[in-house]
Structure 1
Amino acid sequence: MRPPYAISSEILKLTSSVSEKIGEINAQHLSRPATELRKKNRIKTIQSSLEIEGNSLTEEQITAILENKRVLAPKKDILEVQNAIKVYDSLKTFNPFSLKDLEKAHGILMSGLVENPGKLRTGNVGIIKGSKIEHLPPNGSMVHGLMKNLFAYLKSDDEILLIKSCVFHYEFEFIHPFMDGNGRMGRLWQTLILMKKYPMFEFLPIESLIKIKQQEYYKKLSESDKSGNSTPFIEFMLSIILESLEKVLWTQNQTINSEDRIELFREKMGNHIFGRKDFMMNFKNISSATASRDLKKAVDAGILDKTGDGNLTRYRFLMMNG
């Protein structure tokens, strides 16, 4: 059964804008950022998602953990980060349409932090903010059935994936299927659903924007609870996705340098022979002089092999050591 929501004019407008931005990112070959940028975005994502849940570690400390350096911080906070690193590193191995995989991911994310990581709750819980009950999730005995229905909607409904990912995120938080870790799991799983169709979402800074708009995030969850449908939350999440895509277009066009361009092009070309024109077709916003400079630099650094002269100059990437 389809969860309750309505397609508002705002949802239609945002969906169309998001699709346009995805097209722009693909056209400009920015869908897979350079390695350094991917690493920074991953760290930002982990830090933001965990900070929303009260973790105290900074991006610098998370970087240190990634580099196996010693970090002075509460044990629980360090474990949360180590678990999040593991789960994000395994992201591509999970099937977003599988309840078993969701349980497996929760098992990694919450290992050593809760009593039964990876197990759906069977008991009853209440979400308390201050002195009042903010949200009363469904009875524990209903959780398994509700999650099966939610995955059936995700797998089989003909709604567009962008909207389904937002509906899933809201319904997941509403059901609250685990005793703990539901917030970070809901955000992680929406990313995974979107990645299935648009790989660029693996490194999009969605979490950091949610962190900035944390109050609104909870307000929209609450609004959807009160209205009995996820429409307000879908609108909010689509606006966050749109902002993330705009940020990618802006920052990557601003910060991409010669080394980034060469590395991105290596990932695209592999072992194929190419000319300067091919390189410029890939990076439409650079001049021919910049393209020549990039390629010469890569030849001098031993990254590219060059043959021929003038218009007949051809390049091929040399194999990397190790």
Structure 2
Amino acid sequence: MKPPYKITDKILMLVASISEKIGEINANHLYKPTTELRKKNQIKTIQSSLEIEGNTLTEEQITALLENKRVIAPAKDILEVQNAIKVYDDLKIFDPKKIKDLQLAHSILMKDLVSSAGKFRTTNVGIVKGSQVEHLAPGGSMIKGLMNDLFIYLKNDNDLILIKSCVFHYEFEFIHPFIDGNGRMGRLWQTLILMQQYPVFEYLPVESLIKQNQQEYYNKLSESDKMGQSTPFIEFMLGIILESLKHVLQSQNINLSTKDRIFLCKEKMGDKKFSRKDYLQNFKNISAPTASRDLKWAVDENILIKSGEQRLTEYQFKE
């Protein structure tokens, strides 16, 4: 059964704006930032997602753990970060449309933190905030069926992936399939779903914006619960995604280095032969002389093989 939600004018407007921003990012080749920026965004993502769940480690401490340095902090917090680093390092091994991969990711994320890591709960749970039960999750006996239905929706429904990823995130939190770790898993899986169509989401620190709007995040989950449909949560998450993309354009719209451009070109061209004109098509904000300098540098560095002369000059990446 398809999860209940409505496509509102706001959702359509946000989807259009997001598509526009993704187009700009692709045109400017910002979908794969430099190694340093990728590392920084990964740290920010891990820190924000875990801080939402009460983890105390700072970005500096997570950086130290990544560099195998000693960190003084609660053992549980360190373990949460170490597990998250493993998951985010291997994101591409998971297929977001497979339940087994979801369970595998949870088993890595929650290793030695809960005894049932990677296994759906069979007991009943309620989410308590303060002295009140905020959300009474479906009974343990229903989990397997509900998760199967959710993955059927994810695989077969024709809605846009932007909308489906938000619906999945909400429904996952509503079902609460694991004893612990549902929040971080729901956010991780939305990222994975989006990555399948839009590579930029692998490096987008959406989590840090959720952290900045944490109370509204919980409010929209609660509002959707009360309405019996995920519409408010979809609107909220699309707004967060749009802001994240705007941030990428503002902070990363800098001149790529020669090396950055050459290696981005390599990803696109593979082993095909190409001309300077083809190269310029990929980097519309550089001049023809800059393109020539880039290509000469790559030939000198033994990255490219050059053949032909003048207008007939072609280039090919070495294997």
Scaled by the length of structure 2, the TM-score of the pair is 0.90
Shift of 1:15: 1.4
How far does the alpha carbon of each residue in 1:158-191 deviate from its partner, in whole angstroms, 9 at most, with x for none? 2222111111100111111111100000001111
Q: CA 1:271 to 1:99, structure 2 compared with 1: closer, same or farther past 3 Å?
A: closer
Alignment of 1:9-88 (within 5 A): 9-88=9-88
Tell me if structure 1 keeps the 8 A contact 2:28–2:253. Answer: no
* 2:228 is the counterpart of 1:228: yes
Residue 148 of structure 2 aligns to a residue whose secondary structure is helix
- Structure 1 window deviating more from structure 2 (307-316 vs 23-32): it is 307-316
Residue 162 of structure 1 aligns to a residue whose secondary structure is helix
- Tell me the equivalent position of 1:136: 136
Alignment of 1:113-128 (within 5 A): 113-128=113-128
* 2:166 is the counterpart of 1:166: yes
The amino acid across from 2:116 in the alignment is: N
Structure 1: gaps (5+ residues)? none
- Tell me the equivalent position of 1:90: 90
Shift of 1:30: 2.7
Q: CA 1:71 to 1:309, structure 2 compared with 1: closer, same or farther past 3 Å?
A: farther
- Tell me the equivalent position of 2:265: 265
Shift of 1:108: 0.7
- Structure 1 window deviating more from structure 2 (110-119 vs 306-315): it is 306-315
The amino acid across from 2:94 in the alignment is: F
Q: CA 1:247 to 1:256, structure 2 compared with 1: closer, same or farther past 3 Å?
A: farther
The amino acid across from 1:71 in the alignment is: V
Tell me if structure 2 keeps the 8 A contact 1:125–1:136. Answer: yes
* 2:153 is the counterpart of 1:149: no
How far does the alpha carbon of each residue in 1:35-69 deviate from its partner, in whole angstroms, 9 at most, with x for none? 33322222221121111112222223222222323
Shift of 1:258: 3.3
- Structure 1 window deviating more from structure 2 (162-171 vs 203-212): it is 203-212
Partners of 1:24 and 1:129 lie apart in 2 by 41
Tell me if structure 2 keeps the 8 A contact 1:206–1:240. Answer: yes
Structure 2: gaps (5+ residues)? none
Q: CA 1:60 to 1:289, structure 2 compared with 1: closer, same or farther past 3 Å?
A: farther
- Structure 1 window deviating more from structure 2 (70-79 vs 222-231): it is 70-79
Q: CA 1:280 to 1:15, structure 2 compared with 1: closer, same or farther past 3 Å?
A: same
Partners of 1:77 and 1:247 lie apart in 2 by 29
Shift of 1:303: 4.7
- Tell me the equivalent position of 1:208: 208
How far does the alpha carbon of each residue in 1:131-170 deviate from its partner, in whole angstroms, 9 at most, with x for none? 2222221222222222122112212222222111111100
Residue 254 of structure 2 aligns to a residue whose secondary structure is helix
Partners of 2:298 and 2:58 lie apart in 1 by 35
Partners of 1:124 and 1:257 lie apart in 2 by 55
* 2:281 is the counterpart of 1:281: yes
The amino acid across from 1:40 in the alignment is: K
Alignment of 1:190-209 (within 5 A): 190-209=190-209
Partners of 1:158 and 1:278 lie apart in 2 by 35
Shift of 1:279: 2.8
Partners of 1:287 and 1:255 lie apart in 2 by 12
- Structure 1 window deviating more from structure 2 (28-37 vs 97-106): it is 28-37
How far does the alpha carbon of each residue in 1:89-122 deviate from its partner, in whole angstroms, 9 at most, with x for none? 2222222122222111111110001121011111
- Tell me the equivalent position of 1:2: 2
The CA RMSD measured in Å over matched residues stands at 2.3
Q: CA 1:266 to 1:82, structure 2 compared with 1: closer, same or farther past 3 Å?
A: same
The number of aligned residues is: 319
Partners of 2:237 and 2:149 lie apart in 1 by 22
- Structure 1 window deviating more from structure 2 (164-173 vs 96-105): it is 96-105
Partners of 1:309 and 1:157 lie apart in 2 by 52
Tell me if structure 2 keeps the 8 A contact 1:33–1:264. Answer: no
Shift of 1:235: 0.4
Partners of 1:286 and 1:66 lie apart in 2 by 36
Tell me if structure 2 keeps the 8 A contact 1:34–1:263. Answer: no
* 2:98 is the counterpart of 1:106: no
Residue 124 of structure 1 aligns to a residue whose secondary structure is coil
Among all aligned residue pairs of Structure 1 and Structure 2, give the percentage whose two residues are the same amino acid. Answer: 70
* 2:238 is the counterpart of 1:250: no
- Structure 1 window deviating more from structure 2 (68-77 vs 292-301): it is 292-301
Shift of 1:73: 2.2
The amino acid across from 2:242 in the alignment is: L
